[in-house]
Amino acid sequence: MTPGPAAPAPIRVTAYIIRRVIAAIFLVLVVSAVTFLIFFWIPKLGGQTTTQLATQYVGKDANPDSVAAVKKNLGLDLPLYEQYWHFIKAIVMGADYKFGPDAAHCSAPCFGYSFKSHVEVWPQIEQRIPVTLSLAIGAAVIWVVSGVAIGVVSALKRGSLIDRLSMGVALAGVSLPIYFTGMVLLGLFSYKWPIWVNVQYVGFLSNPGQWAWNLILPWISLAFLYSALYARLTRAGMLETMGEDYIRTARAKGLPERVVVGKHGLRAALTPIITIFGMDFGLLIGGAVITETVFSFPGIGAYAVQAITDNDLPKVLGVTMVAALFIVVCNLVVDLLYAAIDPRVRFS
């Protein structure tokens, strides 16, 4: 029995996109359930009572009335499925919290409400997103362009001095932690040679030139680690790809070497790079903790560190949810990019 005709390419691509979007929505629900269980169910398995759990959301100096109010607001005495429903409902529709005669409203999306400082978590995260986003985008451009370029050159010049030197630098970049390179850059270019003095974040709309200038050192310190990793991955992928039969066929047809390398070799080697890039970029948007701490940038990572230091659990919960959602979105974008870069995805 002969198979039926294949669906047209646009239909297959549309079906692929729909499948990926549905999978992303399902993954968001899974992430929310896991986050909820980590913060609300696992502590109970560890022996904590609802009163002890509510005390963590209020702070160390909590009084019995505030603990009782938080316990009621979070529904900690309700069945687990009702607690999860209120958790999801608050994210989508917002929530109201009562403290005796006083009341507070957490607007949607409500990723948490700090019962310690009595502020909504999402507005605080939202105003820090441009800082982390600026840091992540600039560093990502540097590490992808430099890493892929170095990896391609190393693969084409395999065994040469350029190959050995670039891979040596890449090994050093992978080995050195971000806080070390960041402190070295600050020590050299802010103190010994005062080129970047008083490095602090400036909004892009306020002063685009100063925004870019103050981000150069954080971009370099963050990109150095990732570009080294991407250089090694690109080199390994190019060495494997350039030995394939279709590469020899392309050369036998008389195609220019730049077309063979760029269109046929590099394009196939980029698929695993894009996969890892989606994860790395999602993690950075979720909070470049070390870089923001070293350079004292008020981003999501620094906010998370301060929340942990203050033992403000709702803020930690909010950062966890937002970071997880960013990672899911970045992976969805990567899945959709597959169809544009790899023809095998479009015709599968």
Q: Which of 341, 335, 329 lies closest to 136 in space, CA to CA?
A: 329
Q: How far apart are CA 274 and CA 207, in angstroms?
A: 32
Please give the full DSSP string across 41-62, using - where no structure is assigned. IHHHHTT--HHHHHHHHH-TT-
Residue 178 has pLDDT above 70, yes or no: yes
**CA 107, CA 13: separation in Å to the nearest integer?**
37
Cα 73 from Cα 81, distance rounded (Å)? 16
Give percent above pLDDT 70 in the chain.
Answer: 93
Average pLDDT score, the chain: 83
In this predicted model, which residue has the larger pLDDT, 286 or 140?
140
Highest mean pLDDT among 171-185, 280-294, 327-341: 171-185
- Provide the CA 129 distance to its chain's centre, in angstroms: 12
The predicted-structure confidence for 29-60, as pLDDT tens digits, reads as follows 898 899 899 888 888 888 888 888 888 888 66
Instruction: Name the β-bridge partners of 162.
Output: none
The SS3 call for residue 8 is: coil
DSSP character at residue 2: P
298 prior amide bond cis, ω within 30: no
Cβ atoms of 269 and 241 within 8 Å: the answer is yes
For the beta carbon of residue 276, count every other beta carbon within 10 angstroms: 14
Helix H, strand E, coil C: the string for 69-131 is HHHHHHCCCCCHHHHHHHHHHHHHHCEEEEECCEEEEECCCCCCEECCCCEEHHHHHHCCHHH
Rounded to an integer, the average pLDDT of 301-329 is 87
| Residue 239: Cβ-neighbour burial (10 angstroms; 0-12, 13-18, 19+) | middle
Beta strands in the chain (DSSP E): 95-99, 102-106, 113-114, 119-120
The gap from C-alpha 273 to its chain's centroid, in whole angstroms, comes to: 15
Amino acid at 117: S
Q: pLDDT at residue 287 above 80?
A: no
The residue with tokens 């391609």 is: 152
Q: What is the pTM of this model?
A: 0.81
The pLDDT assigned to 1 comes to 45
Whether the Cβ atoms of residue 284 and residue 300 lie closer than 8 Å to each other: no
Residues 323 and 281: beta-carbon distance below 8 Å: no
Nearest-5° Cα angle at 122, 116 to 124: 70
Over its C-alpha atoms, the chain yields an Rg (Å, rounded) of 25
Q: How confident is the model at residue 343 (pLDDT cuts 50, 70, 90)?
A: low
Least confident of 135-149, 212-226, 230-244: 230-244
Return the structure tokens found at 302: 């620094």
Taking 80 as the threshold, does the pLDDT of residue 338 lie above it?
no
Closest CA to 121 of 272, 296, 310: 310
pLDDT digits (tens, 9 = 90+) for 115-153: 888 889 999 999 999 999 899 889 989 988 888 888 888
Give whole-number Cα distances, 221 to 69, 192, 228, 273, in Å. 45, 17, 12, 20
pLDDT band at residue 345 under the 50/70/90 scheme: low
The pLDDT-based confidence of 222 (bands split at 50, 70, 90) is confident
